[in-house]
A and B are shown apart, each in its own frame.
Chain A
Amino acid sequence: MIASESMSELKTILREDQMLAGEKDSHPFGNSGHLKVYPESEEDISAVLEYANSNGLKINIMGGGTKRGFGGLNEKADILLSLERFTGIVEHTPGDMTLTVKSGTPFKELQDYLAKHNQKISLDPFWPERCTIGGVIAANESGPKRLGYGSARDAVIGLRTVYPDGKVIRSGGRVVKNVAGYDMNKLFIGSMGTLGVVTEITLKLRPLPKSESLVLVSFPQGNLKEIRTFAVKVLDSMIEPVTMELLNPALSDKLTGINFYTLAMSFEDVESSVQYQEEFIQNILPENAKLTVNSKEEADFFWKRFYQHSPNGTAEELPAETEACLKVGTVNLNVLHVLKESELLKDMFNVTVESHGGLGHGLSQVSIRGAADDVASAAKKVREIAEKAGGHAIVKHLPLELRKEVNVWGRNPSYLFLLQGIKTKVDPHKTLNPNRFVGGI
């Protein structure tokens, strides 16, 4: 169906200024639509979905656009549903430490608001200024602080989701402990918008730490055995770092000016505890390693730049250099292996590589920049590295054309039939985010 036709039919649902025909012909990251719509309420979303679902139209869903290069093999769907105008806090109960928010709300806006109440959402996604809370949940985005605070599945306690047929399904609730029925929240977290449009998210909050610091330990000799020994010693001690993120030399150089492998350890607690932990690290520091202790302000600056280092999908034009980003999951300490092997990509494919990984949670991220073909080959190689280490790799960012060449999700799991079964029950007409997920879901 052409855009103008849908537009005239949708006019009974949306105002004219909530629709924009003919987004430009081809978007380099795809996942666009012939007609872009801007719902402002859950009713709008429900009506658009019901209309599309009963007319055989396909919908792509978009938040801040940072993950436009994440999955999806189609340039355009019939409708691009933007959550840009579906924003705001629905309810914040400071005494209960819970927050209910509309999915299109930019992540940083929420954190800034909560900071006034000495509270925070315990997630640390990339591009917090641009990404939306809905996108973070739908893509199951997490950062280094996952070690201390967990990921989206640990923070989300309730959702409202519009199903493709327009009905609204609530899951979970507004309390922090809940085992009534299936834990349906989990289904939607990380589902890449293939089951429904999440409209409201209820999160459990944490208090802002009373004190925090960032300890950077760099290893001039780049000896990964030495790093491993040190990391194991820290992990086996009683101290409680919130991050144990190892940065490769290139990323460390970019963020700290030190061109060596660097371990970034955050401490967040009451002041006496933070100080004690800094001292503990100083006391067990390996001979060749260099240590810097950063105050809260310095730590904030470091993390701010950290969360902006990896490529995102908000650009309308491709940059001169092709960019890719992969998320690799392995057993915790195999992060070392992933980072080490990824260094070889530089010479092998003539690309630049910025990588980091959490030695306490097992997730690494590898950002690659270079010529298109080289980047694609390097991305495939990252998957090989991941699989050799017993793990998996997911392509988080790549231009559309290259996504057709490099499988985004890797090989299908043996239980794909269950994933397909779930999709078929919830979205039988494949209305939402078609082909965005594992196995063509």
Chain B
Amino acid sequence: MRGKNIKSKDKHILNLANIVGGARSILYQKEDLLAYDCDGFTIHKHLPKAVVFPKNSQEVAEVVKYCSENDLPFLARGAGTGLSGGAIPLNEEVIISMVRMKKLISVDLENRRAVVEPGFVNLKLTNSISDKGYYYAPDPSSQYCCTIGGNVAENAGGAHCLKYGVTTNHILGLEVVMPNGEIIEIGKDGIPDAPGYDLLGLITGSEGTLGIVTKITVRILKNPEGKQTVLAYFDHVEDGSQAVSNIISAGIVPAALEMMDKTAIEGVEAAAFPVGHPKDIEAVLLIEVDGIAAGIDEQIEQILEVCRKRNVREVRAARNEEERARWWANRKTGFGAMGAISPDYLVQDGVIPRSKLPEVLRRINEISDESGLRIANIFHAGDGNLHPLVLFDARVPGESEKALEAGSLCLKVCADVGGTITGEHGVGIEKREEMRFVFTEEEIAAQTEIREVFNPHNLLNAGKLFPTPSRCVEIKKEMKAQAIS
């Protein structure tokens, strides 16, 4: 967006600029493109061909159509907070930035739905309706800056999805630009159960490989009447994990149930939002219950009781909203806080059956010992979603590779106990190969077949989500093709 005239002779740049309204809506010079060479996953960097900033669905469709007709790879990008590399232009893509499409189009409180453009920031939606007593439930830690379009692409989660579900449970309708430029509308007006396969569910979480979402109808919820948060310190990780299981099996559905281990606590206490967690404890639990105010005390009592039975060192409920907010700020900035105790860190995102928590933590400790790298653990313990943070120093030769390997080993452990390799960050570039930990070649092929229906030329966000097909599958496919012809 530098000046009024395009200084490039590349006809594609000129034509794309034309579509989106001129030189102010396109970036194409190297120094401008550098900011787009990666997203929140910073290990791979690639320059895009250009970045365009369309203002509406029509412009997106025209850009896509142009790219498709001219064989130019392309991808959509929101705020670039993705942690798995989903918006990195591996193939010199034209990046379609959605940041100018950031309107809140409509809010219908009576029918509990809102329509937003994809560039609309997650937290802004809640802020826009909170005075009426409503909110949007999915709350990824980056919600102050990440976009709802990006949330749809990644099927983003958050601390409160234990009770309220992840993004896919809150998406009612989508307008989508298909990879050939055609615009389709699914889940019209947010009406449930339209006849046909559930494309809404399929596209949500497809990491921008099936289409580009240009309008989103979301479900909004009424604020819970009451909310109470409990903090519990444990001297032994086992006791903390057992408390998690016991709370759930007591029939309580907490809104959130978070856990941090000793190394993570060291990080958050050294960073911007310390709350004075004791440094010598092995685990802290942050437990939130919400709902009808009349029923909350009873549940809190029960939680305190469970924690005491599990040898808790100290457990107490937040005294006021301010204290509650401080506890949450401490937790939600947990990833970034690792910067205070380590030059670099790598976030992983495994999921395990809750009951395997003690075993998995033991094995992650072993990985840490063997690699010589510290691993902090921050997790959504209630739904078994672990975020091991591998701490390393990229300046030390070989340490980045070691960190990547340790991260991958953590995911292997999760897969081995019946879990999965990503709960909310997505596969992106980062975990392509790890897909093999959970799926067979045939199962991966079943998924890429679906991609071919939507994105037959694979111009849209190619190279993401799936491992490179192994030779034997390709040969099988070739043989099949020969047999048919």
Tell me which residues across on chain A come within 8 A of B423, comparing CB atoms: 175, 177-179
What 1/0 flags go to B352-377 for Cβ under 8 Å of A? Answer: 11110000000000000000000000
- A240–B291 CB distance below 8 A: yes
- A169–B420 CB distance below 8 A: no
Binds A, one of B118-126, B311-319, B440-448: B440-448
- A118–B450 CB distance below 8 A: no
Q: A178-B351, A183-B204 are in contact. Are A409 and B195 (CB under 8 A)?
A: yes
Quick one: closest B residue to A327, CB to CB? B193
What 1/0 flags go to B419-444 for Cβ under 8 Å of A? Answer: 11111111100010001001110111
- A153–B201 CB distance below 8 A: yes
What 1/0 flags go to A161-199 for Cβ under 8 Å of B? Answer: 001000101110111111111111111011100010000
Binds A, one of B38-46, B97-105, B163-171: B163-171
A425 to B446, CA, bound (A): 9
Binds A, one of B1-9, B21-29, B217-225: B217-225
- A392–B385 CB distance below 8 A: no
Asked whether B253 is an interface residue with its Cβ less than 8 Å from the other chain, the reply is: yes
From B191, B384, B421, give the contact of A391 (CB < 8 A).
B191
Quick one: closest A residue to B183, CB to CB? A414
Asked whether A113 is an interface residue with its Cβ less than 8 Å from the other chain, the reply is: no
Tell me which residues across on chain B come within 8 A of A425, comparing CB atoms: 449-450, 452-453
Tell me which residues across on chain A come within 8 A of B252, comparing CB atoms: 207
Q: Write the nearest CB–CB distance from A147 to chain B, whole angstroms.
A: 10
Quick one: closest A residue to B411, CB to CB? A180
Tell me which residues across on chain B come within 8 A of A236, comparing CB atoms: 109-110, 133, 222
Asked whether B205 is an interface residue with its Cβ less than 8 Å from the other chain, the reply is: yes
Q: Write the nearest CB–CB distance from B197 to chain A, whole angstroms.
A: 5
Q: Write the nearest CB–CB distance from B299 to chain A, whole angstroms.
A: 7
Among B169, B200, B249, residue most surrounded by chain A Cβ atoms (within 10 Å): B249
- B195–A95 CB distance below 8 A: no
Asked whether A2 is an interface residue with its Cβ less than 8 Å from the other chain, the reply is: no
A79 to B438, CA, bound (A): 34
A142 to B193, CA, bound (A): 10
- A329–B165 CB distance below 8 A: no
- B453–A421 CB distance below 8 A: yes
Q: Write the nearest CB–CB distance from A274 to chain B, whole angstroms.
A: 8
Tell me which residues across on chain B come within 8 A of A437, comparing CB atoms: 196
- B352–A175 CB distance below 8 A: yes
Q: Is the interface of A mostly helix, strand, loop or mixed?
A: loop
Q: Write the nearest CB–CB distance from A89 to chain B, whole angstroms.
A: 16
Tell me which residues across on chain B come within 8 A of A361, comparing CB atoms: 192
From A163, A177, A232, give the contact of B446 (CB < 8 A).
A163
A418 to B352, CA, bound (A): 34
Binds B, one of A281-289, A292-300, A330-338: A330-338
From B166, B204, B206, B355, give the contact of A96 (CB < 8 A).
B355
Size band of the A side of the interface? 35 or more
Tell me which residues across on chain B come within 8 A of A392, comparing CB atoms: 191, 194-195
Size band of the B side of the interface? 35 or more
What 1/0 flags go to A267-305 for Cβ under 8 Å of B? Answer: 001111111110000000000000000000000000000
Tell me which residues across on chain B come within 8 A of A190, comparing CB atoms: 193, 197-198
From A174, A179, A208, A419, give the contact of B353 (CB < 8 A).
A174
- A363–B380 CB distance below 8 A: no
Asked whether B14 is an interface residue with its Cβ less than 8 Å from the other chain, the reply is: no
Quick one: closest B residue to A119, CB to CB? B251
Q: Write the nearest CB–CB distance from B16 to chain A, whole angstroms.
A: 27
What 1/0 flags go to B281-293 for Cβ under 8 Å of A? Answer: 0000000000111
Asked whether A220 is an interface residue with its Cβ less than 8 Å from the other chain, the reply is: no
Asked whether B481 is an interface residue with its Cβ less than 8 Å from the other chain, the reply is: no
In the complex, chain A residues 136-177 whose Cβ is within 8 Å of any chain B Cβ: 140, 142, 150-151, 153-154, 163, 167, 169-171, 173-177
Among B192, B424, B426, residue most surrounded by chain A Cβ atoms (within 10 Å): B192
Asked whether A239 is an interface residue with its Cβ less than 8 Å from the other chain, the reply is: yes
Asked whether B294 is an interface residue with its Cβ less than 8 Å from the other chain, the reply is: yes
Tell me which residues across on chain A come within 8 A of B198, comparing CB atoms: 140, 153, 186-187, 189-190
Asked whether A255 is an interface residue with its Cβ less than 8 Å from the other chain, the reply is: no
Quick one: closest B residue to A277, CB to CB? B292
Asked whether B468 is an interface residue with its Cβ less than 8 Å from the other chain, the reply is: no
- A180–B155 CB distance below 8 A: no
Asked whether B202 is an interface residue with its Cβ less than 8 Å from the other chain, the reply is: yes
Q: Write the nearest CB–CB distance from A437 to chain B, whole angstroms.
A: 8
- A183–B155 CB distance below 8 A: yes
A236 to B220, CA, bound (A): 12
Asked whether A22 is an interface residue with its Cβ less than 8 Å from the other chain, the reply is: no
A182 to B450, CA, bound (A): 9
- B169–A154 CB distance below 8 A: yes
Tell me which residues across on chain A come within 8 A of B295, comparing CB atoms: 269-274, 276
- A238–B223 CB distance below 8 A: yes
Asked whether A390 is an interface residue with its Cβ less than 8 Å from the other chain, the reply is: yes
- A419–B197 CB distance below 8 A: yes
Q: A96-B355, A181-B427 are in contact. Are A390 and B248 (CB under 8 A)?
A: no
Q: A186-B198, A190-B197, A238-B292 are in contact. Are A180 and B421 (CB under 8 A)?
A: yes
In the complex, chain B residues 166-218 whose Cβ is within 8 Å of any chain A Cβ: 166, 168-169, 184-186, 188-202, 204-206
A-B residue pairs, 4 tightest by C-beta:
A186-B201, A273-B295, A207-B251, A238-B225
Since A360-B112, A422-B453 are in contact, a sample of 20 more A-B pairs with Cβ atoms closer than 8 Å, ordered by chain A residue number, is A96-B353, A97-B248, A140-B193, A140-B198, A167-B442, A177-B424, A178-B420, A178-B422, A179-B154, A180-B438, A232-B110, A235-B112, A239-B225, A273-B295, A332-B111, A392-B195, A413-B194, A413-B196, A415-B186, A425-B452
Q: What are 22 A-B contacts with C-beta separation under 8 Å? A: A95-B355, A96-B384, A173-B351, A178-B420, A180-B427, A181-B439, A182-B202, A182-B205, A182-B206, A182-B465, A183-B201, A187-B198, A190-B197, A210-B251, A236-B133, A238-B224, A269-B295, A272-B295, A275-B294, A276-B294, A333-B111, A426-B449
